[in-house]
Structure 1
Amino acid sequence: MSTLKPMPLATKISKPYWQALEQNQLKIQQCNDCDSWVFYPRNHCTACFAHELEWKEVSGEATLYSYTLTRIPTMPEFSDEMPQALAVVELKEGVRVNTTLIDIEEQDIQIGMPLKPIFDKVTADGKTLLRFTAVNNQGGERKFDNPLEGLPVNDKGQVQVPVSNLSALYALADNKFTEWSNSIEVDQTLINAFADLSGDDYWLHTDPERAKVESPFKTTIAHGSLVQVLQSRLTIALPFEIVGFNTMVNYGSNRLRFPAPVPAGSIIHGRSKVKDVSTSHKGVQLTLEMNIHVQGNDKPSVINDLVILYR
């Protein structure tokens, strides 16, 4: 599973459950007043309403209560898992858990069949989902399988990801920025040239003397659109190369913001990360978040979500 797929969000109440899974343990709550088991995680016992709940490790022995097979992805990110066996299992303790079945052939799935847990490491940093499989299969820990490992690398050191390899494409959206690009000085001459080209000669951009007195920045600032355009002159060292497509189209921007000014004379640089990958009848759509900063400033001056369409 790639990190782009939606992951559960631990709350204050459920956090011990998810922490235990990362330690390859299944823990559920038991009431100290009436000994009833409780799941999903709550603040009170569902049998006697007492608040004396304690997290206790259980074996994970279970039987299949109900299931359904999905042959159409509920979200595009799950395209690589079809068909999914979405299931409700009943633990030996009597509580029921929503989960998925893995490593079981469709014809072998039977209501009431005995199951055992698999602690599925779905991210490189150890995030874990609870799955179930047949008792005659291997249970325990299922290690994270990085879909980018083993792919060829080009002469620039970039991993070559086929556009048809959805698992690898989804794995690119790891929320990690690239290294910083080269630097560009945004001086008054460049700002004036853009003003002449665009027709936007507002004094805040083009009149340094007035800006010293009236501007809240005490200097002229670059046009936001100028800084955006300058991203074409920033060389971003992407760690990957998409291959195997017929056409690649710049599809526009999903979001464009200018959170901070770029004063005249500033040095800017940029970095990017893959924000999203999705598929549709149009092809594979990759969203690349580009951030441009004034050097030394943590707050970006431009955030541009570039959309690239591969067919």
Structure 2
Amino acid sequence: MPTPTSQPYWDALAAHRVRIQYSPSLGEYVFYPRVISPHTLIDDLEWREISGMGRLYTFTVAERPVSPHFADEVPQLLAVVQWDEGPRCTTEIVDATVHDLEVGMRMEPVFCDYPQHAITMLRYRPAR
């Protein structure tokens, strides 16, 4: 759910873009959205657009829904993708089967719009 801190992330997803925070004091991108930079504890976070491309860091098959909202969507391929810019994000893999996946493979973003809930979710599929 969007919060005042994470709203720019969700707004970018709605526009089918990926924006995350960058900390000049740390010299790195950071994710999840936060108020101050990790490690330096300085209030210098900037929102920057990234490609959204990355590599499959790990994945699992969820046979049980992770919440009632996903009861009709099992099994799910849940994953962690490491963006080219550094941070990792948790996600769901779409347009693939477990047999298509290999840790380290290139992944591309898929923007899944849910207008009835006024939200866009970031999911991934193997890069074409």
- 1:128 alignment partner AA: T
| 1:10 and 2:2 aligned | yes
Normalization by structure 1: what TM-score? Answer: 0.39
Q: Could you tell me which residue of structure 2 aligns to residue 100 of structure 1? A: 92
Query: Would the aligned equivalents of 1:36 and 1:45 in 2 still touch at CA under 8 Å?
Result: no
Q: Please give the alpha-carbon distance, in whole angstroms, between the structure 2 residues aligned to 1:62 and 1:132.
A: 9
Aligned residues: CA RMSD: 1.5
Structure with the largest fraction of strand: 2
Secondary structure, counterpart of 1:81 in structure 2: coil
Q: Could you tell me which residue of structure 2 aligns to residue 30 of structure 1? A: 22
- The 1:77–1:10 alpha-carbon spacing in structure 2 relative to 1, beyond 3 Å, is closer
Q: Percent identity?
A: 37
Q: Deviations over 1:140-198 (max 9, x none)?
A: xxxxxxxxxxxxxxxxxxxxxxxxxxxxxxxxxxxxxxxxxxxxxxxxxxxxxxxxxxx
Q: Please give the alpha-carbon distance, in whole angstroms, between the structure 2 residues aligned to 1:48 and 1:74.
A: 34
Q: Could you tell me which residue of structure 2 aligns to residue 72 of structure 1? A: 64
Q: Please give the alpha-carbon distance, in whole angstroms, between the structure 1 residues aligned to 2:76 and 2:115.
A: 19
Q: Could you tell me which residue of structure 1 aligns to residue 78 of structure 2? A: 86
C-alpha displacement of 1:85: 0.6
* Count of aligned residue pairs for this structure pair: 128
Q: Please give the alpha-carbon distance, in whole angstroms, between the structure 2 residues aligned to 1:22 and 1:16.
A: 10
Instruction: From 88, 112, 129, give the equivalent of 2:104.
Output: 112
Q: Please give the alpha-carbon distance, in whole angstroms, between the structure 2 residues aligned to 1:14 and 1:75.
A: 21
- The 1:12–1:76 alpha-carbon spacing in structure 2 relative to 1, beyond 3 Å, is closer
C-alpha displacement of 1:43: 1.1
Gaps of at least 5 residues in structure 1 are 1-8, 137-311
Runs (4 or more) in structure 1 with deviation over 4 Å come to: none
Which of the two has higher C-alpha Rg?
Answer: 1
| 1:123 and 2:115 aligned | yes
Q: Please give the alpha-carbon distance, in whole angstroms, between the structure 2 residues aligned to 1:91 and 1:47.
A: 20
Secondary structure, counterpart of 2:13 in structure 1: helix
Q: Please give the alpha-carbon distance, in whole angstroms, between the structure 1 residues aligned to 2:127 and 2:82.
A: 14
C-alpha displacement of 1:126: 4.4
Q: Could you tell me which residue of structure 2 aligns to residue 56 of structure 1? A: 48
Q: Please give the alpha-carbon distance, in whole angstroms, between the structure 2 residues aligned to 1:76 and 1:56.
A: 33
Structure with the largest fraction of helix: 1
Instruction: From 115, 119, 134, give the equivalent of 2:126.
Output: 134
Q: Deviations over 1:59-101 (max 9, x none)?
A: 0011111111011223444232121011111001110101100
Normalization by structure 2: what TM-score? Answer: 0.92
